[in-house]
């Protein structure tokens, strides 16, 4: 273990070093910063997985696999890729490998689990620094404020506008709904009409997830002005998304970070159980009643949406029970309600139900292993005082709650940079091997 004493840099020295980006850093940096351009062109679902796959292949060297071992969580995500592929093949075989369905299934795997593995592995095969990703995300998050202001001016000045399909998106085969550029519109929330928008994403709740993750990533931005703008943009996008679960997860992440910094992390579960039991005793309620009451209020904010999600998830679980071990392999079955007015594929919402339905218990074991191993990778450094790992740990807890309401393989394309950030932190840990005191000094700089 070597001593690490970061030299004090002047502003000019810091700027000159930040400009000396590696080839991979430059590509990732500008891909993140130019997010509004890809959105307006309709290229988001193509460019992010292509960039991550290209850099992964470009950085693949046998000596790197031998000399620089990847964390267990990276291998777990690769295992999930192969588990998903195996069950996908079984499912596609039942329909004779129909061309369009096969292409759609494999592309979903490509822009889902494979992209997660690629993003978390890139920092181990290329020089990709945490501060580079943070600066790029800060600039992108700042654009949230600009675009949201423009959308609200259009909404209140010109009224609701028709969505449109970008020109290049027309060339991409398959479903086009997620490629539409949508404007802000008024939707009821607790019966109050309020503006809501998707912005760069395919669905408002995904914008809430992005806003939450970007907020805690941008806390590490060293430039005070960019940090303020990025935090403002992230918070505004979180609010306007009207994502109830993201709102709940936002203070939860702060609570987790506080527990780490106050030394309560090891006893956190005891505090939570004790506090819940205390409230239940004081109010003469059972634990079930205590949870049910706020949950009913939570669901009443967007009652129709909550009922639709509950119906689809329930139908997904019922379909999984028909093929519990290997699942169905593909998302082919649908559920309809309202006399056929609404039709959605099973597995549309909860990632946990979707993995069971598509990949069965076999795939679910790999999925849970990947989630837990990723979380555990940040636990020990977080306990030892690494602030970056504390934020990463809190964000992962929030993400694991959020994917219960929205499919991970559908929305990960919009926060792919989060997994590069995670990989960069783990790579930095591996390369520097800092002890607790040194990590505290380093993390305090961010």
Contact 193, 67 (CB under 8 A): no
Nearest one of 346, 336, 444 to 390, comparing CA atoms: 444
In a domain, 8, yes or no: no
Residue 125 lies in a domain: yes
Q: What percent of the chain has pLDDT over 90?
A: 48
pLDDT at position 446 over 50? no
Structure tokens at 137: 């995300």
- Is 40 a domain residue? yes
The domain of 151 spans: 21-444
* Spatial distance between the Cα atoms of 437 and 384, rounded to a whole number of angstroms: 8
Query: What pLDDT, on the 0 to 100 scale, is given for residue 232?
Result: 95
pLDDT at 335: 78
What is the average pLDDT value for the chain, to the nearest integer? 82
What confidence score (pLDDT) does residue 300 get? 52
CA distances from 410 to 115, 349, 384, 416 (A): 12, 9, 35, 11
pLDDT band at 13 (very low <50, low <70, confident <90, very high): very low
207-216 average pLDDT score: 96
pTM of the model: 0.86
Bridge partner list, 309: none
| Any domain includes 189 | yes
Q: Which residue has the higher pLDDT, 303 or 136?
A: 136
Across residues 295-315, what is the average pLDDT?
65
Q: What is the average per-residue pLDDT within 260-276?
A: 61
Report how many domains make up the chain: 1
Q: What is the 3-state secondary structure (H, E, C) of the chain?
A: CCCCCCCCCCHHHHHHHHHCCCHHHHHHHHHHHCHHHHHHHCCHHHHHHHHHHHHHHHHCCHHHHHHCCCCHHHHHHHHHHHHHHHHHHHHHHHCCCCHHHHHHHHHHHHCCHHHHHHHHHHHHHCCCCHHHHHHHHHHHHHHHHHHHHHHHHHHHHHCCCCCECCCHHHHCCCCCHHHCECCCEEEEECCEEEEECCCCCCCHHHHHHHHHHHHHHHCCCCCHHHHHHHHHHHHHHHHHCCCHHHHHHHHHHHHHHHHHHHCCHHHHHHHHHHHHHHHHHHCCCCHHHHHHHHHHHHHHCCHHHHHHHHHHHHHHHHHHHHCCCCCCCCCCCEEEECCCCEEEECCCCCHHHHHHHHHHHHHHHHHHHHHHHHHHHHHHHHHCCCHHHHHHHHHHHHHHHHCCCCCHHHHHHHCHHHHHHHHHHHHHHHHHCCCHHHHHHHHHCC
pLDDT of 306 higher than 80: no
Q: Which of the four pLDDT bands, split at 50, 70 and 90, describes residue 264?
A: low
pLDDT reading at 272 higher than 60: no
| pLDDT recorded at residue 291 | 45
**Separation of alpha carbons 197 and 201, rounded Å:** 9
Position 241 in a domain: yes
Within 10 A of 270 (CB to CB), how many other CB atoms are there? Answer: 10
User: Each residue of 331-370: pLDDT tens digit?
Assistant: 888 877 655 556 778 878 889 999 999 999 999 999 999 9
Residues in the chain, overall count: 446
pLDDT class for 259, splitting at 50, 70, 90? confident
Q: Following CA atoms 33, 118, 50, 41 in sequence, which dihedral angle do they give, to the nearest 10 degrees?
A: -30
- pLDDT recorded at residue 133: 96
Q: Quick check: is 14 in a domain? A: no
- Please determine, for residue 416, whether its predicted confidence score (pLDDT) is greater than 50: yes
What confidence score (pLDDT) does residue 120 get? 96
Q: Which range, of 65-74, 144-153, 272-281, averages the lowest pLDDT?
A: 272-281
Which residues does residue 189 pair with via DSSP β-bridges, in sequence order?
192
Per residue in 172-189, pLDDT tens?
Answer: 766 677 778 888 888 877
Residue 213, φ and ψ in degrees, nearest 5:
-65, -45
pLDDT band (50, 70, 90) for residue 235: very high
Cα 289–Cα 295–Cα 296 angle in degrees, nearest 5: 90
The answer to whether residue 9 sits within a structural domain is no
Q: Quick check: 315 pLDDT over 90?
A: no
The pLDDT score that the predictor gives to residue 302 is 52
Interval 36-55: pLDDT, tens: 999 999 888 899 999 999 99
Q: Whole-angstrom distance between the N-terminal and C-terminal Cα of the chain?
A: 23
Is 10 inside a domain boundary? no
Check whether 126 has a pLDDT greater than 70: yes
How far is Cα 402 from Cα 278, in angstroms, rounded to an integer? 27
How many angstroms from the chain centroid is the CA of residue 206? Answer: 8
Asked if 25 and 126 touch (Cβ cutoff 8 Å), the reply is yes
Report the pLDDT value the prediction gives residue 3, as an integer from 0 to 100.
Answer: 37
* pLDDT band at residue 391 using 50, 70 and 90 as cut-offs: very high
% of the chain beyond a pLDDT of 70? 79
Q: What confidence tens digit (pLDDT) does each residue in 67-102 have?
A: 668 899 999 999 999 999 999 999 999 888 888 888
Q: What angle do CA 378, 114, 68 make, to 5 degrees?
A: 55
d(CA 439, CA 385): 7
């Amino acid at each position: 273990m070597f001593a690490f004493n970061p030299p004090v840099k002047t502003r000019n020295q810091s700027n000159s070093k930040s400009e000396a980006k590696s080839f991979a850093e430059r590509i990732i940096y500008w891909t993140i910063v130019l997010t509004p351009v890809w959105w307006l062109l309709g290229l988001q679902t193509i460019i992010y997985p292509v960039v991550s796959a290209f850099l992964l292949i470009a950085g693949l060297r046998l000596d790197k696999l031998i000399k620089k071992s990847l964390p267990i969580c990276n291998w777990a995500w690769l295992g999930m890729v192969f588990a998903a592929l195996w069950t996908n093949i079984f499912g596609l075989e039942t329909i004779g490998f129909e061309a369009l369905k096969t292409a759609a299934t494999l592309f979903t795997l490509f822009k889902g689990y494979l992209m997660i593995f690629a993003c978390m592995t890139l920092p181990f095969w290329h020089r990709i620094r945490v501060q580079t990703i943070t600066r790029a995300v800060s600039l992108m998050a700042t654009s949230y404020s600009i675009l949201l202001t423009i959308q609200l001016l259009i909404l209140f000045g010109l009224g609701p506008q028709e969505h449109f399909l970008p020109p290049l998106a027309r060339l991409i085969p398959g479903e086009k709904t997620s490629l539409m550029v949508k404007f802000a519109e008024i939707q009821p929330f607790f019966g109050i009409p309020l503006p809501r928008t998707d912005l760069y994403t395919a669905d408002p709740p995904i914008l809430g997830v992005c806003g939450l993750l970007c907020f805690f990533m941008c806390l590490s931005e060293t430039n005070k002005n960019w940090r303020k703008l990025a935090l403002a943009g992230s918070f505004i996008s979180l609010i306007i998304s009207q994502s109830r679960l993201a709102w709940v997860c936002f203070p939860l992440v702060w609570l987790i970070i506080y527990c780490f910094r106050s030394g309560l992390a090891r006893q956190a579960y005891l505090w939570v159980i004790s506090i819940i039991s205390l409230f239940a005793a004081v109010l003469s309620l059972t634990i079930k009643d205590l949870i049910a009451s706020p949950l009913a209020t939570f669901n009443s904010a967007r009652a129709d949406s909550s009922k639709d999600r509950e119906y689809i998830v329930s139908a997904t679980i019922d379909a999984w029970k028909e093929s519990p071990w290997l699942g169905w392999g593909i998302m082919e079955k649908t559920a309809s309600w309202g006399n056929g007015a609404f039709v959605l594929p099973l597995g549309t919402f909860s990632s946990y139900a979707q993995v069971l339905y598509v990949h069965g218990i076999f795939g679910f074991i790999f999925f849970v292993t990947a989630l837990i191993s990723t979380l555990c990778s940040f636990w020990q450094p977080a306990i030892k005082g690494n602030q970056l790992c504390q934020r990463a740990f809190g964000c992962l807890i929030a993400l694991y709650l959020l994917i219960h309401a929205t499919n991970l393989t559908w929305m990960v394309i919009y926060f792919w940079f989060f997994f590069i950030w995670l990989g960069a932190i783990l790579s930095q840990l591996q390369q520097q091997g800092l002890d607790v005191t040194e990590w505290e000094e380093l993390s305090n700089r961010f």
